[in-house]
Amino acid sequence: MFLKEYIKDVVGGVTSLLKGMRKTGYYFFHPKEIITEQYPDNRATLKLAERFRGEVVMAHDANNEHACTGCTACELACPNGTIKIITKFDMTPEGKKKKAIDTFIYHLELCTMCNLCVEACPTGAISMAQNFEHSVYDRNKLTKKLNKPGSKVREGVE
Amino acid sequence: MNSVPLAHILFVSTALFCIGMYGLFTRRNIITMLMSIELMLNSVNINFVAFNKYLWPEKLDGIFFTLFIITIAAAEAAVAIAIIINLYRSHNSIDVEDATELKY
Amino acid sequence: MEASAIIFYCIAAFILGAGILAVTTRKIFRSAIWLLFSLVGIAALYFWLQVEFIAAVQIIVYVGGIVVLIIFSIFLTQQSGKEMAKPSGKHVLFSLLAVLFGLALIYNLISEYGFAEQASRPFQVAVGEIGMQMLSTTQHGFILPFEAVSMLLLAAMVGCIVIAMKNKSGNLEAAEPPAGKLMIHSDFTSSTTEKEA
Amino acid sequence: MYTQTDVIKDTTADGPEGELVINMGPQHPATHGVLHLVITLDGETIKKIEPHLGYIHRSIEKMTESLTYRQFTYVTSRMDYLSAHINNLACAMTVEKAMQIEVPERAKVIRVLMNELTRIASHELWIGAMAMDLGAFTPFFYAFRERELITDIMEETCGARLTMNYMVPGGVMYDIHPSFQQKVKEFVTQFKHKVTEYEDLVTNNVIFQSRTKGVGFLSKEDAISYGCSGPVARASGVSCDIRKLYPYEVYDKVQFDEVLDTAGDSFARYMVRVREMNQSIRIIEQLIDSIPEGEFQAKTKAVLKPPKGEFYTRVETARGELGVYLVSEGGTTPYRIKYRSPGFSNLSALDHMARGSKIGDLMATMGTLDLVIPDIDR
Amino acid sequence: MFSLEGITGTVQNWLLNTFNPQVALLIECAIVILLAISLFAVLGLVLVLMERKVAAHIQIRLGPNRVGPGGMFQTVADTVKLIMKEGLTPDLADKFLFNLAPFVVMIVAMLLLAPIAFAKNFQIWDINIGVLYVSAVSSLSVIGILMAGWASNNKYSLLGAMRSGAQIVSYELSAGLAILSIVVLTGSLQISDIIASQQDGWWLFKGHIPVIIAFVIFLIAVTAETNRAPFDLAEAESELTAGFHTEYSGMKFALFFLAEYINIFIVCAIGATLFLGGWMPLHIGNWEGFNHVMDYIPSSVWFFGKTFFLIFLIMWFRWTFPRLRVDQLLNLEWKYLLPISLFNLLLVTLIAILGWHF
């Protein structure tokens, strides 16, 4: 019957709308469900996953020594040309020439945090850090030198 | 409120009527002609209300005439616009001079 | 001069100015807007005359209805921003002469006649009274014209629908989709009916 | 598809007889990116749609020719960024197929788990974006709340939230995080609990149903002839789930149904995706407690050199069938790689689906196509 | 103490004593205009903030919370931003109409403020055709939208304007019929009469189910008339980018934006006046004690409380429902709302004639 169908239409439609309104109304009156994170304010309590890939860093120990031998495996592994390694020849105490890094240049602006360089590194010299606030006013600041001045390769790392 | 003489109100309505007439004479576009007709109808309405108010304030006949004119004007405009749109569909123009043949 | 007189002359100037612009501007949409202003001015004149009911009806019917309708027909029939052709000088001249003579004649009549001014009688338009009189069947009732106008409106409505329908029957693409369902094209409708069957 | 003159012709000029030509995009709220649709309208009715592509073409296929087999997988995350895992998997599988690397069982299970999580995340985003296209803003946030849990799981295990680069030839990059299983179970519980909200707000809503039912119809034959795949084709009744038809990894060992619908309209596509999420949950529940012990990555050489030949693999992404066609000359870089992306074929059906409907219907149709523009342009 | 009653009388007496009547009238006009404009500004700020907060809480977010305590001055900051922005006018636009349109919309919203009774004895113009005036003047706002759509010389704007025109003109019918049902019960078009008739209970409770149906229809129709979601087809942002105000920027856009909120306030105020008794406190029949307690709450609080409740309802709609399609929108009006409200009006008339209401 036409009228019955019509009324069923109206009632069914209104019920479905009211159901939706009940759901949104529930959230309106339950502020505990709010999931907003107040980002710059909660920096202190911000927990990042330990595997989060923010930038490539090179670990230096207390003696200002790192594990990079300058083998350029990371440079080859990188798909974007993010890493550039400049090597030099050091004189060992025995008087032999030894290859070592002069500068480990890391272009953060090119990096996509794919982790291939870290995977490729045979000595575990570089790793991914959790820092993610990279914005700067000068693009040149994104080109970083990872080995600290005066650092040298750790003894026994080949 | 009767600070303005009736003649002034009548003059306004006459002037409006003449403006509408001028529009009707000079325009060749049906929509603008319709607009001119609306202006003329309105000037008549002003007359009715003014006469009612100034000459026979105890009656409401002018008000009723105005109401009926407004209603009829609405009906007239609706039909006219239906015709105009139909004309536009068949002739692709709403110029009166393009609609000289008596068929749609 | 009293304040109400000043207001009247302002309204009158507004009505006439907007009216003149409505019939002389060559942009059709602007013409409709000037017409709208003229009509709103007339509504203001009704307010000034203290017939608020008529003023409200004027705004509802003319502004809310007719002008919107006119604007819609402009949207549907006019290319955006195109100016209308200028009427020829001869045309304008003779129209102007005819109109000015007409105006002069009527103005002469109005000023000569001398209306019997019946001042100081109150003029009250109670909405209830209009309604009562509109539907009364006594000698001064308006039930017959009211019914006649209702019939006219009905006829106009049917007429509009018929006029608008006639063109559409032959042209399926322009037809409005049937209520509630959407017609996409032939293979869609056939397959949905299959599905429903 | 278009000649030079077609592309540079004036896309703003109106057609004859009151036809209105509007340019939807490249910047438009409903195109979700830089898709450019030139739409010919008769009043509100669509007469023709011409998609103009290329605004986000980054020549990924050409780029991969200069990247090694380890490197090129990561680029594909940027194609269909919402199912990055699945793209990466397709590339990794191609290399494995070419070099006949045997992937450890544990890696396979992890890959499948990640795939299904990605699928749910992608569909969650889609459900929100689709509701937003139709004017309902709130479901977007509810959908993102659940999606956030998945991205958190991804971040913990893979180290990134969107472009994970977790699949490598031979397995996965790391082992799963110790809390992975527990977090996934938590997610599954919450998802099952919250999914009723979408039903209240979207699925059963009378406005939503009337906006989508009977809109953007695609028949089975058309779906096949336009090369549609994924939920778009399955909603028209085409059985095309690669996971069922050509099982890869451990899909042949888990129980799940291929979701099919025959209505072929926007609502059917919507329902297919919603039911697909439930199937993904079913797969996850079966696998999450039985991740086998063992290696997570096969032993591979440092430099991958597949033999000379042509290799093709296909996987089921959230949007449909992704094929990777690899031509190897035996060197360290591919000679040619061609991706058969699902979005491109699905988009090609848009004109056919939307013709004769209203502009509002176009939003429903486009929304249920689930277009990711970089996937179309590559 | 919070009641506005009496303040106006005092001011008028003082003015009449100090100046001659003509000057006093002028000063009163100036004061009223000033008050109206400041009310506009305050309402705009409050309603925009309210909308954002309601939206945020429905969407499990916090909403603006940086500018001022709890984000209170966010709208002020937004306004400053909009004022500073350059008001662009498209090259091929009809510049006169393009610049006129936002003012038309704004002036219409301003005119609508006149007959609203904000509190006991606090009303700018108690015109004898009050509700008719409101429905008449509110039909003017569509002109501003059509003007904006045409003058922008943009196809999205034109489509939005046409949609909006069809929508507003057709939804005016059912809104008018819903208003009529109260007019039938009251027997008067005057706002003060309508409020006075709710002395012993609001019409929503006195008028049985037909008035409740009329109330629901009124809410739906005014939501459509103010171009709010789920009826925001005129500016459907996923279809027409921003509809009729696509080309507007800066202060002219702000005027459209403000007018939308003022219109919501006005229609909600009318709804509160017609169905919920305006400033009339909640009175129940002959419960003298209860009525007396309710009278202690100032009338302005009652008025604004009811109005804001209705505004909240409309915002709740907006953030819950998807948008309708244009043909469905017209179907809803012509197939559902109009027949139901016509039938409903018949029922209400029956109730009024037989005196069945309380």
Query: What is the per-residue pLDDT across E50-82, written as a single tens digit (0 to 9) for each?
Result: 888 888 888 888 888 888 787 888 888 888 888
pLDDT of residue A137: 92
Kindly determine whether residue D217 and residue C195, on different chains, have CB atoms separated by under 8 Å: no
Residue A85, beta-bridge partner list: A104
pLDDT of residue C22: 87
Count the neighbouring beta carbons within 10 Å of the beta carbon of residue D363: 30
- Given pLDDT bands bounded at 50, 70 and 90, which one contains residue C173? very low
pLDDT of residue C197: 30
- Mean pLDDT across D110-120: 89
Within 13 Å of residue D45, how many CA atoms lie on the same side as its CB? Answer: 15
* Chain E nearest C-alpha distance from C59 (Å): 6
Do residues E255 and E106 lie in contact, with contact meaning Cβ atoms separated by under 8 Å? Answer: yes
- Given pLDDT bands bounded at 50, 70 and 90, which one contains residue E6? low
Judged against a pLDDT cut of 60, whether residue D100 lies above it is answered with yes
Query: What is the per-residue pLDDT across E77-131, written as a single tens digit (0 to 9) for each?
Result: 888 888 888 878 888 778 888 888 888 888 888 888 888 888 777 777 777 888 8
* Chain C nearest C-alpha distance from E287 (Å): 33
Q: Strand D36-42 vs strand D19-24: parallel, antiparallel, or unpaired?
A: antiparallel
Query: What is the per-residue pLDDT across E117-141, written as a single tens digit (0 to 9) for each?
Result: 887 777 777 778 888 888 888 888 8
Tell me if residue D289 falls in helix, strand or coil.
coil
Best residue of B1, B43, B97 to probe chain C, by most C CBs closer than 10 Å: B1
Q: Strand A65-66 vs strand A152-153: parallel, antiparallel, or unpaired?
A: parallel
Judged against a pLDDT cut of 80, whether residue D368 lies above it is answered with yes
Judged against a pLDDT cut of 80, whether residue C121 lies above it is answered with no
Contacts for C4-12: CB closer than 8 Å, 24+ residues apart:
C4/B1, C4/B3, C4/B4, C4/C48, C5/B3, C5/B4, C7/C48, C8/B3, C8/B4, C8/B8, C8/B9, C8/C45, C8/C48, C9/B4, C11/C41, C11/C44, C11/C45, C11/C48, C12/B8, C12/B12, C12/C45
Do residues D324 and D313 lie in contact, with contact meaning Cβ atoms separated by under 8 Å? Answer: yes
| Among candidate residues D364, D363, D366, the one with its CA nearest the CA of residue D349 | D366
| C125 contact partners, CB below 8 Å, separation of at least 6 | B60, B63, C50, C51, C52, C53, C54
- Given pLDDT bands bounded at 50, 70 and 90, which one contains residue B102? low
Best residue of B33, B58, B67, B79 to probe chain C, by most C CBs closer than 10 Å: B67
Query: What is the per-residue pLDDT across D270-325, written as a single tens digit (0 to 9) for each?
Result: 889 888 888 888 888 888 888 888 888 888 887 888 888 888 998 888 888 888 99
Kindly determine whether residue C149 and residue B10, on different chains, have CB atoms separated by under 8 Å: no
Which residues does chain D have within 8 Å of residue E321's beta carbon, measured at their own beta carbons? 135-136, 205, 207
Which residues does chain A have within 8 Å of residue E60's beta carbon, measured at their own beta carbons? 27, 33-36
Domain that holds residue B72: 6-98
d(CA D137, CA D123): 16
Kindly determine whether residue D156 and residue A49, on different chains, have CB atoms separated by under 8 Å: yes
d(CA A119, CA D297): 12
Judged against a pLDDT cut of 70, whether residue E35 lies above it is answered with yes
| Among candidate residues C42, C1, C110, the one with its CA nearest the CA of residue B51 | C110
Kindly determine whether residue E322 and residue D207, on different chains, have CB atoms separated by under 8 Å: yes
Whether residue B39 lies inside any domain: the answer is yes
Q: Where are the domains of chain A?
A: 2-35, 55-153
Which residues does chain A have within 8 Å of residue E62's beta carbon, measured at their own beta carbons? 34, 36, 38
Whether residue B104 lies inside any domain: the answer is no
Best residue of E53, E54, E62, E220 to probe chain A, by most A CBs closer than 10 Å: E62
Q: Which chains touch D (3 or more CB pairs under 8 A)?
A: A, C, E
Kindly identify which residue of chain B lies nearest to residue C11, measuring between CA atoms: B12
Task: Examine chains C and D and say if they touch (3+ CB pairs below 8 A).
Answer: yes
Query: For all residues of chain D together, what is the average pLDDT?
Result: 84
Q: Where are the domains of chain C?
A: 1-80, 126-176
C5-22 burial by CB neighbour count: b if 16+ within 10 A, else e?
A: eebbeebbebbbebbbbb
Judged against a pLDDT cut of 50, whether residue C174 lies above it is answered with no
What is the CATH topology of the domain spanning A55-153? Alpha-Beta Plaits (3.30.70)
Kindly determine whether residue D215 and residue C181, on different chains, have CB atoms separated by under 8 Å: no
- Given pLDDT bands bounded at 50, 70 and 90, which one contains residue D17? low
Domain boundaries C1-80, corresponding CATH code: 1.20.120.1200
Query: For all residues of chain E together, what is the average pLDDT?
Result: 83
Amino acid at B51: F
* Burial group, residue E70, by CB count within 10 angstroms (0-12, 13-18, 19+): middle
pLDDT of residue D5: 46
Torsion of CA E330, E335, E337, E343, to 10 degrees: 150
Judged against a pLDDT cut of 60, whether residue D236 lies above it is answered with yes
Phi, psi (deg, nearest 5) at residue D201? -85, -35
- CB of C68 less than 8 A from some CB of E: yes
| Among candidate residues C77, C82, C70, the one with its CA nearest the CA of residue B93 | C77
Which residues does chain E have within 8 Å of residue C21's beta carbon, measured at their own beta carbons? none
Q: Which chains touch A (3 or more CB pairs under 8 A)?
A: D, E
d(CA C189, CA C186): 5
- Given pLDDT bands bounded at 50, 70 and 90, which one contains residue A115? confident
Query: What is the per-residue pLDDT across A2-59, written as a single tens digit (0 to 9) for each?
Result: 888 888 888 888 888 888 888 888 888 888 878 888 888 888 888 888 888 888 888 8
- CB of B96 less than 8 A from some CB of C: no
Report percent pLDDT > 90 for chain D: 0
* Chain D nearest C-alpha distance from E354 (Å): 38
The helix (H) or strand (E) run that includes residue D39 is strand D36-42
Judged against a pLDDT cut of 50, whether residue C178 lies above it is answered with no
Kindly determine whether residue D205 and residue A52, on different chains, have CB atoms separated by under 8 Å: no
Do residues C79 and B88 lie in contact, with contact meaning Cβ atoms separated by under 8 Å? Answer: no
Do residues D342 and D375 lie in contact, with contact meaning Cβ atoms separated by under 8 Å? Answer: yes
Within 13 Å of residue D301, how many CA atoms lie on the same side as its CB? Answer: 11
Query: What is the per-residue pLDDT across D126-158, written as a single tens digit (0 to 9) for each?
Result: 888 888 888 888 888 888 888 888 888 888 888
Query: What is the per-residue pLDDT across D203-219, written as a single tens digit (0 to 9) for each?
Result: 888 888 888 888 888 88
Do residues E124 and E113 lie in contact, with contact meaning Cβ atoms separated by under 8 Å? Answer: yes
Judged against a pLDDT cut of 70, whether residue A140 lies above it is answered with yes
- Given pLDDT bands bounded at 50, 70 and 90, which one contains residue C189? very low
Question: What's the distance, CA C34 to chain centroid?
Answer: 13
Length of chain C as a residue count: 197
* Chain E nearest C-alpha distance from D150 (Å): 18
pLDDT of residue C186: 32
For every residue of E256-290, DSSP letters joined together read HHHHHHHHHHHHHHHHHHHHS-TT-----TT-HHH
Judged against a pLDDT cut of 50, whether residue D4 lies above it is answered with no
* Chain D nearest C-alpha distance from C156 (Å): 25
| Among candidate residues D366, D324, D362, D320, the one with its CA nearest the CA of residue D345 | D320
Residue A152, beta-bridge partner list: A65
Judged against a pLDDT cut of 80, whether residue B101 lies above it is answered with no
Residue A144's region, left for phi above 0, alpha for psi from -120 to 50, else beta, is beta
| Among candidate residues A65, A73, A63, A58, the one with its CA nearest the CA of residue A126 | A58
Kindly determine whether residue C52 and residue E136, on different chains, have CB atoms separated by under 8 Å: no
Query: What is the per-residue pLDDT across D191-200, written as a single tens digit (0 to 9) for each?
Result: 888 888 888 8
Phi, psi (deg, nearest 5) at residue D70? -80, -35
C-alpha angle D39-D41-D44 in degrees, rounded to nearest 5 = 120
Amino acid at E262: I
Judged against a pLDDT cut of 70, whether residue C192 lies above it is answered with no
* Burial group, residue D24, by CB count within 10 angstroms (0-12, 13-18, 19+): buried
Nearest to E316 among A24, A34, A35 (CB): A24
pLDDT of residue D8: 47
pLDDT of residue A141: 86
Amino acid at E242: A
Nearest to A79 among D74, D148, D152 (CB): D74
Judged against a pLDDT cut of 50, whether residue D42 lies above it is answered with yes
Kindly determine whether residue E162 and residue C75, on different chains, have CB atoms separated by under 8 Å: yes
d(CA C180, CA C26): 42
* Token code pair at residue D277: 């999420």
- Mean pLDDT across E18-45: 82
Kindly determine whether residue C187 and residue D219, on different chains, have CB atoms separated by under 8 Å: yes
- CB of E58 less than 8 A from some CB of A: yes
C-alpha angle E286-E288-E292 in degrees, rounded to nearest 5 = 135
How many angstroms separate the Cα of C46 from the Cα of each of C55, D281, E175? Answer: 5, 71, 25
Kindly identify which residue of chain A lies nearest to residue E314, measuring between CA atoms: A21
Report percent pLDDT > 70 for chain C: 77
pLDDT of residue B53: 82
pLDDT of residue C177: 37
pLDDT of residue C120: 58
Kindly determine whether residue A24 and residue E58, on different chains, have CB atoms separated by under 8 Å: yes
- State the SS3 of chain A: CHHHHHHHHHHHHHHHHHHHHHHHHHHHCCHHHCCCCCHHHHCCCCCCCCCCCCEEEECCCCCCEECCCCCCHHHHHCCCCCEEEEEEEEECCCCCEEEEEEEEEEEHHHCCCCCHHHHHCCCCCEEEECCCCCCCCCHHHHEEECCCCCCEECCCCC
- Mean pLDDT across D326-336: 86
Amino acid at C1: M
Ordered domains of chain D (ranges, CATH): 4-52 (no CATH), 63-377 (1.10.645.10)
Best residue of C187, C188, C193, C195 to probe chain D, by most D CBs closer than 10 Å: C188
DSSP type of residue E333: I
- CB of C191 less than 8 A from some CB of D: yes
* Chain C nearest C-alpha distance from E332 (Å): 9
Nearest to D356 among C76, C184, C195 (CB): C184
Judged against a pLDDT cut of 50, whether residue E244 lies above it is answered with yes
Window 44-103 of A, Cβ < 8 Å to D? 48-49, 51-53, 77-79
- CB of E54 less than 8 A from some CB of A: yes
